[in-house]
């Protein structure tokens, strides 16, 4: 399976990154092990998570996803050698436990490494921008973590074009590691926050992009066609934001292209992201081994220019 380099990091990523937000939430440990094994057996090689996953679940405190991944890796069998581990910090984990200060970063990475049961994080990402901490302090701390061998490369998530530009300038001016990757929310429906200045900056600076919500919380799989479908998953409540005239137009376009290639709408939605020049690899979650079939289909799907134009037009506006 062809891999793409993430920015200038040297990390090579297969066309789809597994979204670990579901682990410990809608996917229990036993099922997670089966899914992750099938994921890497299919030729994929990157798992994205965060320290806060799945803190939003009643009774959880964060770290559940990292813990499951750590136990999966600890089984051995060459799993660690076959996969890149991407995680994030900075979002709130509790009182006085958030942000990108040197003090917090140095403590939080130890917790993530312990949960993941690894010595080095392949891509460590700033989950949220932290305007209260000088950019220089954050990047100097990342430099220390890289020097200590605890991190290979760094990335940013949910940054504006202005703040990503500032970070790249600070790195360049002070000779520090730079954000090699951006993780924005982006899919065929949600396009306006990424397309434009942010995408142009990533292309100009050769910053890799691994967008989350690649399937719009499941809407682009096509399983939510009416309000009666909202109860199909814990994410169903979000579908009210998508099931409108624009959403139905997108589903119709996905259905048409999917029928032409004998694949499911989810595969087409992911293939549309993969085909975009600025995208390194979209992040997508799966709650069953069967859903990984859409990942493989997307990775092997070559959309025609006319099909991309049709999808572009459906998701415009």
Contact residues for 59 (Cβ-Cβ < 8 A; gap 6+)? none
Whether residue 53 lies in the annotated active site: yes
Cβ pair 154, 143 in contact under 8 A:
no
CB 64 within 8 A of CB 52: no
The 10 Å CB-count burial string (b at 16+, else e) for 142-170 is bbebbeeebbbbbbbbbbebebbbebbeb
Annotated active-site residue in 53, 189, 212, 242: 53
- The H or E element containing residue 84 is strand 84-89
- Alpha-carbon span 82 to 41, nearest angstrom: 9
Q: In whole angstroms, what is the distance from residue 120 CA to residue 84 CA?
A: 10
Whole-angstrom CA distances from 28 to 65, 67, 289 are 10, 11, 13
Q: How many CA atoms within 13 Å lie on the side-chain side of 291?
A: 21
Active site residues: 53
């Amino acid at each position: 399976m062809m891999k793409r380099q993430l920015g200038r990091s040297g990390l090579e990523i297969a066309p789809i990154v597994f979204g670990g937000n579901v682990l410990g939430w809608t996917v229990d440990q036993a099922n997670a092990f089966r899914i992750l094994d099938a994921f890497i057996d299919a030729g994929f090689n990157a798992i994205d998570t965060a320290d806060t996953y799945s803190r939003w679940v009643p009774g959880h405190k964060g770290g559940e996803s990292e813990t499951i991944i750590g136990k999966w890796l600890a089984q051995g069998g060459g799993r660690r050698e076959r996969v890149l581990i991407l995680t994030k910090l900075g979002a709130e984990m509790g009182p006085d436990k958030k942000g990108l200060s040197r003090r917090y970063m140095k403590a939080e990475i130890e917790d993530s490494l312990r949960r993941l049961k690894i010595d080095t994080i392949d891509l460590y990402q700033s989950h949220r921008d932290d305007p209260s901490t000088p950019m220089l302090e954050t990047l100097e701390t990342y430099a220390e973590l890289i020097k200590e061998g605890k991190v290979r490369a760094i990335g940013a998530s949910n940054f504006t074009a202005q703040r990503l530009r500032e970070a790249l300038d600070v790195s360049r001016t002070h000779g520090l590691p730079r954000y090699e990757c951006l993780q924005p929310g982006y899919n065929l429906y949600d396009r306006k926050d990424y397309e434009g200045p942010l995408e142009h900056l990533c292309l100009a600076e050769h910053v890799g992009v691994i967008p989350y919500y690649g399937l719009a919380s499941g809407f682009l799989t096509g399983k939510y066609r009416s309000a009666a479908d909202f109860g199909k998953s814990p994410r169903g409540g979000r579908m009210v934001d998508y099931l409108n005239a624009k959403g139905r137009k997108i589903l119709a376009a996905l259905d048409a292209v999917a029928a032409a290639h004998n694949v499911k709408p989810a595969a087409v939605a992911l293939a549309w992201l993969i085909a975009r020049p600025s995208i390194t690899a979209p992040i997508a979650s799966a709650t069953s081994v069967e859903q990984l079939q859409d990942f493989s289909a997307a990775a092997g799907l070559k959309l025609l220019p006319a099909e991309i134009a049709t999808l572009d037009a459906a998701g415009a506006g």
